[in-house]
Structure 1
Amino acid sequence: MAKYLIKGAKIVNEGTQKIADVLITDGLIQKIASEIEAPAHCEIIHAEGLHLLPGLIDDQVHFREPGFTHKGDIETESRAAVAGGVTSFMEMPNTVPNTLTQELLEEKYQRAAEVSRANYSFFMGASNDNLDEVVKTDPKRVCGVKVFMGSSTGNMLVDNQTALENLFKESPTIVASHCEDEQTIRENIAHYKSRYGEDVPMWAHPLIRSAEACYRSSSRAIELATKFNARLHILHISTERETMLCSNDIPLEEKRITAEACTHHLWFTDADYETKGSLIKWNPAVKTYEDRNAIRAAVNSNRIDVIATDHAPHTLEEKQNSYFKAPSGGPLVQHTLPALLDLYHTGVFTLEKIVEKTSHSVARLFEIENRGFIREGFAADLVLVDLDSRNEVLKSNLLYKCGWSPFEGHTFKSAVKYTFVNGEVAFKNGAVIDSIRGKRLSFKR
């Protein structure tokens, strides 16, 4: 493997910033010091004026393979990920077929080994009737079990009380939950259909998939986790009220219930439906200005433990349909780090907090082996960013297979310059290095 010496970068890691050199050999961070002499056959990267961060670990993506590869696939979306500084991802089971057996789960791992530019793990899916498969999940080799407590693709809505209780009681690893109460959503749909028929306006999305629907479901998940002492991770918190369900008074490693915020809920508000329409239609919905600010505050106060993308591409043709026909979800892995760095520039987050929530805490929460920190002996998953390099989002520089972004036309204040995956340059000055392949994540459980 290649050797690299990164010279003079400002390292942001474990709550501090310092200028130092970093030597990378055999895929690992071999040495960190104020001055390192370059060994033989070493490529020197002059990084003066740049910031070196741990690579992002995205704990929620939908790369659409198998079954929806016209929207995206593991190869195309992992390319976009490394361009955005994401060096590891955890992908969700609502593909076609749904990832509801160990055999189907292993097929995803085999495919990722062939084509993924980033490191990878895949969630095992839960349904009303596959507990026998869920309990076979190896916690050392699989990131977690995903349960949809709200509608999803195929047979993935778990709405049977006995099935839910058994899942929380017997899951061998973290249960990651999408929390929206289906009955509340159905009642809200009926209400808006009675007013608008099939032409429901897009601004009604956060009223249909309402704050109450989210809170009811999140509360129920927490009750089940508490009853069975299960390890619960609540995905994509979208409301102020839900943030108050989360604790910030105990260390992360001691938490039995953790929570995630996503980029779109930290950036957009319901006022943006007027201009963005279905392009910001996600489940759970983007909600009010007050909800967005409360989620930001919960990240800073450690009520929310990690930041992810919920990257979920659809084609532009699909998204340009009417309310009930336009699918929910959008592409984000290429632009989450630049978006968070914009929030740094406006004083919402510090650089240290961004690193904590996108790298350190994800590694700690999932107990990932040897990643998530800039430490000697750890895997060299790193990203070099220029905080003062303006970068306009254009169709011509998008790497998503779907070919669009909700950020199109926006100029970010910062840009990713290099991404290292397992000590190899996977992205450099606007170009993905397509020979690089990621590795399967492993877990200290």
Structure 2
Amino acid sequence: MTDTLLQGGEVLLPSGPARVDLSISEGRVAGLHQPGSAPETRETIDCTGLTVLPGIVDIHFHVRAPAYPERGTVLSETRAAAAGGVTTLFEMPISKPCCATPEIFEARRAHFAEHAVVDFGLYAAPGDLTEATRDRFLELGAIAFKIFTTPAPPGRGDEFDGLAFPGEDDQLRALELLAGTGRPVVVHAESAALLERYERQARATLDPASGYTHNKARPAVCESVAVAKLLAMNITAQAKLHIAHVTSAETVAVLRAFAGTSDFTAETCPQYLFATEADVDRAGVFAKVNPPIRTQTDQDALWEALGDGTIAHVTTDHAPFAHAEKAAAAGDFFAAPPGSPGIETLLPAMLDAVAAGRLDLRRAHDLICANGARLYGLYPERGTLLPGARADVALVDLAGTTRVRLGGLVSHARDVAHLWDGRDFRGRVVRTLLAGRSVYADGEVTGREGGGRFVAP
């Protein structure tokens, strides 16, 4: 007898969708069965008309907990993840203080374990760039490492100490130190010198209230130059380099030019695939993110890069802020904090791309789940529904609609989701299972606080 049977749906397998029933025992996929041939089960979930997907793995997520609870907590934002079909997420090391020492890492791991509704991995910042610190992070199970090529924002030094390396000498040291660990080295890549130049010019000449100003103050060349330098350095370092949140046609061209020179991958995000600077102008400072949302030409180039494999990952860069923080900077893009909630809209947005014919379902799912599970050493434990895999599942209605309205999300940052306000995505998350247990069903988060597990490679 099995614990649960998902019956009557279409299951997404590595070979594509298949009309089979899926049985679950002890939190894992027990078997795939032709309709009517499954063994006796304790619970049956009717999936008629639904598509059964492996639970989404979001490899780029921020909540900054336990600092800044007014922006969101581990509980609030992992509840939002469950509502979005995300069953595993990787939290970035920006915290207060920065997750740049093993002691801070252990404290954050304990905090997440106490409150998370879904499974989680934790990034580490390489800190003092010593082998001792690196090796301790590996022992503790850091899912990957993260660095910035930009300096710490003013007044936030403690959040970026050991994470921000604007000098190329330190960037190369970090790549060389982390090469051979088997863990990705994820980089927020923008040129510190060019950012300073263009922001100085923008402050002197541009309207701070315009939604087009942010893109001009941090133009694509800042990103493409930093990425080119990293990829050139990685020819020497040979780290497992991953470029975060690619935004521009210029950077796509750089990625193609360096293809085959080292082990590197890249990601982009729905905000760059489904919005342009015109949407930012409409939404105001609530839609400010770093790097900026750019033009239609850049958006088109990103879709082409997803189509030809130049970019193989789509992530949320979920970054909640309090409404008061954003509202306090209304009319001033230079002063506004950068970030937007995205954990609940990732899967619906990609299902919408499937409905529009931009991608087939398997490719869309690879971009937000299976490719990440492979890159971070979790496949086929996660990212697939083959027998033996974790029974992490997102049940979706491809014919349904996800209507995003301000204040309507589960995220604590639902009042700052102006970028997506009024958007209808074709595709809807109906139910989410974590290790075979329902954590979200029919509009209600049912997962328990502390039910999520720490994930290591």
Query: Do the structures match in fold with TM over 0.5?
Result: yes
The match for 1:245 among 241, 254, 261 is 254
Letter in 1 for 2:222: A
Letter in 1 for 2:143: C
* Distance in 2 separating the partners of 1:95 and 1:67: 7
* Distance in 2 separating the partners of 1:248 and 1:194: 35
* Distance in 1 separating the partners of 2:112 and 2:141: 14
Q: Deviations over 1:223-244 (max 9, x none)?
A: 2221111110101011112113
- TM-aligned CA distance change 1:222 to 1:135, over 3 Å: farther
Partner of 2:172: 165
* Distance in 1 separating the partners of 2:243 and 2:140: 21
**Structure 1 position 358, deviation (Å):** 1.1
Q: Deviations over 1:341-364 (max 9, x none)?
A: 112212222211111111111111
**Structure 1 position 130, deviation (Å):** 6.4
Verify the 8 A CA contact 1:248 1:303 in the aligned structure 2. Answer: no
The match for 2:226 among 217, 242, 247 is 217
Instruction: Describe the SS at the equivalent of 1:414.
Output: strand
Letter in 1 for 2:17: Q
Partner of 2:400: 389
Q: Deviations over 1:172-214 (max 9, x none)?
A: 33210000111111111111122248x3633111111110000
The 5-angstrom pairing of residues 120-269 of structure 1 reads 120-127=120-127, 132-138=132-138, 141-152=141-152, 153-154=156-157, 155=161, 156-171=163-178, 172=181, 173-196=183-206, 199=208, 201-246=210-255, 256-269=263-276
Letter in 2 for 1:181: S
Letter in 1 for 2:321: H
Instruction: Describe the SS at the equivalent of 1:12.
Output: strand
Partner of 1:430: 443
In structure 2, stretches of 5+ residues that fail to align are none
The match for 2:282 among 275, 280, 283 is 275
Instruction: Describe the SS at the equivalent of 2:70.
Output: coil
* Distance in 2 separating the partners of 1:139 and 1:261: 30
Letter in 2 for 1:82: A
**Structure 1 position 411, deviation (Å):** 2.3
* Distance in 1 separating the partners of 2:171 and 2:64: 26
Instruction: Describe the SS at the equivalent of 1:427.
Output: strand
- TM-aligned CA distance change 1:148 to 1:131, over 3 Å: farther
Aligned length: 440
The 5-angstrom pairing of residues 386-425 of structure 1 reads 386-395=397-406, 397-404=408-415, 405=417, 406-425=419-438
* Distance in 2 separating the partners of 1:307 and 1:275: 24
* Distance in 2 separating the partners of 1:396 and 1:302: 36
Partner of 1:332: 342
**Structure 1 position 36, deviation (Å):** 5.1
Compare 416-425 and 132-141 and name the one that shifted more: 132-141
Partner of 2:35: 35
The 5-angstrom pairing of residues 332-351 of structure 1 reads 332-351=342-361
Instruction: Describe the SS at the equivalent of 2:164.
Output: coil
Partner of 1:49: 49
* Distance in 2 separating the partners of 1:361 and 1:41: 32
Partner of 1:305: 312
The 5-angstrom pairing of residues 68-107 of structure 1 reads 68-107=68-107
Compare 412-421 and 6-15 and name the one that shifted more: 6-15
Verify the 8 A CA contact 2:147 2:185 in the aligned structure 1. Answer: yes
Verify the 8 A CA contact 2:274 2:299 in the aligned structure 1. Answer: yes
Compare 152-161 and 278-287 and name the one that shifted more: 152-161
Compare 37-46 and 110-119 and name the one that shifted more: 37-46
Q: Is structure 2 residue 387 aligned with structure 1 residue 373?
A: no
**Structure 1 position 382, deviation (Å):** 0.9
Q: Is structure 2 residue 294 aligned with structure 1 residue 287?
A: yes
* Distance in 2 separating the partners of 1:270 and 1:126: 34
* Distance in 2 separating the partners of 1:102 and 1:34: 49
TM value normalised by structure 2? 0.91
* Distance in 2 separating the partners of 1:75 and 1:386: 26
**Structure 1 position 165, deviation (Å):** 2.0
Q: Deviations over 1:265-321 (max 9, x none)?
A: 111111212211222211111111111111111112111111100000111222231
Instruction: Describe the SS at the equivalent of 1:219.
Output: helix
* Distance in 1 separating the partners of 2:191 and 2:389: 41
**Structure 1 position 128, deviation (Å):** 6.4
Letter in 2 for 1:326: A
TM value normalised by structure 1? 0.93
